[in-house]
Amino acid sequence: MKNNFNTCNLITGCAFSLVLLSAMAVSQSVWAHGYLEVPPSRALLCQKGENKNCGQAQYEPQSTGETFKGFPNGAGGAPLQGPIDGKIASGGNALFSALDAQSATRWHLTEISDRNITFQWQYTAAHPATQYEYFITRDGWNPNEALKRASFDSAPFCTVDGGHQVPVGGAKQNCVIPDSKSGHHVILAVWTVDDTANAFYDPVDVNIIAEAALPGGWSPVGSIAPSTPLRVGDKVKARAFSTAGENTQYSVEISIDNADEGQAENWSFKLAEAINNAHSLIRAGIRDEDGNITPIRGNNSLYAQTESGVRRYEVQLEMQEDAGASMKISALQPEYVLDNGRVSMAFTAQTNRRMNLEATLFDEKNKQVGIVSQVGEGSTGLSLDVRSAPGAHTLTLVGTTEDGRTTRQDTRSVTLTGEGAGIEYDFVFPEGISDYTAGTKVLQPKTDEVFECKPFPASGYCKQYSSTANGFEPGVGASWQLAWDKL
């Protein structure tokens, strides 16, 4: 999507050494975090759902692109530092490697209609700033190649002194985009942190529209973001909405008639074309400098004329279940033998599709005593780490295809024999912690001991546990005796 952005509205050594440096930067424990909010960075649009298939970036836009400072040359004349070519967006961190993908249609573009631009940062952990720099892709750059130093002009078009100060309430810098830049570009925003060895490299995907090239009165009203492959028989509908609700007059639906059309970039193109053919007051595609709006095989923006009354569009997928998908449990023994209440229970899942698998074992009281999740296709071996007592049990296997359209389930009975742990318990700590009350018995897996929650009012402490506050963790926390009795 091209998010409409107009600043006028803001007031209202060697390759090995380079790899080593970036690897070191990723491993450092640095608490500075932030991202470019205006215009929105690639990672921020992942969090907003307008960029798809972003990996961990959709959860942590503030953490992406962190590595050594010194782009494009080494700081103070040192050898090259900063991000590795091809890994500029991720900073070389594997968690964010999806951001390094680069093509003419991979990312949503933010329209820039004023060369006088204000950049605004948002921080989750602000640190003093040495400076802010803004690089832009060179004239004639290839948007289908991975981003590297040679993709950008060698000097920033804007540099702002950070003053070695901690920004208060975010940071804003007024800059001017060069007159030679128009159309699709990537702006690389660099926040150099003053009290660490690192900087944050935040790419922004933009479509620069010249000030005089906004003819036609088109207003952005949504986008077609092709994130999901479809199958024959599926349908896609662009639903139009006015201030009074859905405006069915301008809603458009297409069907997927063959496998080629089901490819995400192709159904986006087909829907955009169908919209343009159906309505003169609605357009779908990418807008160029001359105001022409043309569909592409990728992310298409939606525009409307005021007289249409359309204020926004929503894209709705009607996906048919994959009737041919199958899954079953196999190689399950009728009996598994417990050793002091524990057993590793191995079996196999047979599927004819790639699926997200989850296997759960329940005891006679339907208490969960083992669970495992795994992605599998064909014959997939699974192993449950079980803690239970002898008796009849139920194994449930649920598989969901990766596109989420189809779920299959298989349930089998299995018997556990041998010896139990001796003391029954309700939960394996910290599972079900919100349900802990006086008398709740939990197994502490760190010590293989069972603890019982004390009577009220001490029972309130039994729920006090988090990644940072675990003083009442049974048998382990510094104050566990205030909440628990060891059985």
- The first and second tokens of residue 97, run together, are 């490697």
Which pTM does this prediction carry? 0.51
Closest by CA to 184, choosing from 224, 150, 136, is 136
Output the pLDDT for position 13: 36
Cα–Cα separations (whole angstroms), residue 320 to 314, 376, 405, 436: 19, 22, 7, 42
Output the pLDDT for position 216: 65
Cα–Cα separations (whole angstroms), residue 290 to 90, 183, 186, 294, 325: 34, 10, 20, 11, 49
Q: Tokens 């900063």 — which residue?
A: 82
Output the pLDDT for position 43: 93
Indicate the pairing of strand 327-330 with strand 342-362.
antiparallel
Cα–Cα separations (whole angstroms), residue 215 to 218, 281, 292, 301: 8, 14, 9, 16
DSSP characters for 301-338? EEEE-GGG---EEEEEEEPPP-TT--EEEES--SEEEE
Residues 127-144: b if buried by 16+ CB within 10 A, e if exposed: bbbbbbbbbbbeeebebe
Residue type for position 430: P
How do residues 354-408 score in pLDDT, each as one tens digit? 999 999 999 998 988 999 999 999 999 999 999 888 999 999 999 999 878 899 9
Q: Are 359 and 345 in contact (CB under 8 A)?
A: no
Q: Are 298 and 266 in contact (CB under 8 A)?
A: no
Indicate the pairing of strand 110-112 with strand 198-208.
parallel
Output the pLDDT for position 30: 42
Q: Are 178 and 210 in contact (CB under 8 A)?
A: no
Output the pLDDT for position 80: 59
Point out the residues of the chain with pLDDT beneath 70: 1-32, 74-80, 168-170, 210-216, 289, 421, 467-468
Q: Are 189 and 41 in contact (CB under 8 A)?
A: yes
Long-range contact set of residues 53-58: C-beta below 8 Å, sequence gap at least 24: 53/98, 53/227, 54/98, 54/99, 55/95, 55/96, 55/97, 55/98, 55/99, 56/95, 56/96, 57/95, 57/96, 57/98, 57/99
